[in-house]
Chain A
């Protein structure tokens, strides 16, 4: 069984640029959630995607947007990058039938550095 995978592993961008991060959910999972983890802190919920629609959002500005595709994979897009966006971006997937039960399995993350 393949776990959650994310790409790229590392990324360096300049302030003001745009970035797209990708996530493939674990086999048998159909919901994807994205989290931002700043250095030395716990992950913070950005948003969740279910049936290709946003299904809940945390306290992040609209320049953070996402997509989910029919194969349940997902993208996180961040526009107008700011220095504070430097963080580890984590994708987590939820097994089919377990939406709303809290169970989430995380990928290895994408380390984004904004200079």
Chain B
């Protein structure tokens, strides 16, 4: 029940395209859903996050879509750029602050 399932494991997108990464969870107590971006040899950087009282949040080229009834959420990267090439992790937590991470998606954006 504590798992967060993430797909796909890897994603190849052409420059200017849309990258979509999906996550699913089971624990209905989760109330905070962040996405992190991680470059090789670096720590995860908080990209964007959502709480279950809204169905969508947009920040620049990054959008989270949230479906509470399906217990799913996804990250959309519009106009993907080569600089977006990184590993993306979804995560979820409740009021314990214990972040449960997905297994990661390696995104490669080709020019």
Contact = CB atoms under 8 A, between A and B. Distances in A.
A42 B44 CA distance: 10
Interface in B60-111: 89, 91, 93, 95-104
Contacts, number: 69
A63 B42 CA distance: 26
Nearest to A9: B41
Contacts of B41: 111
Contacts of A109: 42-43
B26 interface: no
A99 interface: yes
A43 B43 CA distance: 10
B18 interface: no
Interface of B: 6, 31-32, 34, 36, 41-46, 49, 89, 91, 93, 95-104
Given A48-B98, A100-B97, A103-B49, 12 more contacts: A33-B97, A40-B104, A42-B104, A43-B89, A44-B101, A100-B96, A101-B32, A102-B31, A103-B46, A106-B45, A106-B46, A107-B43
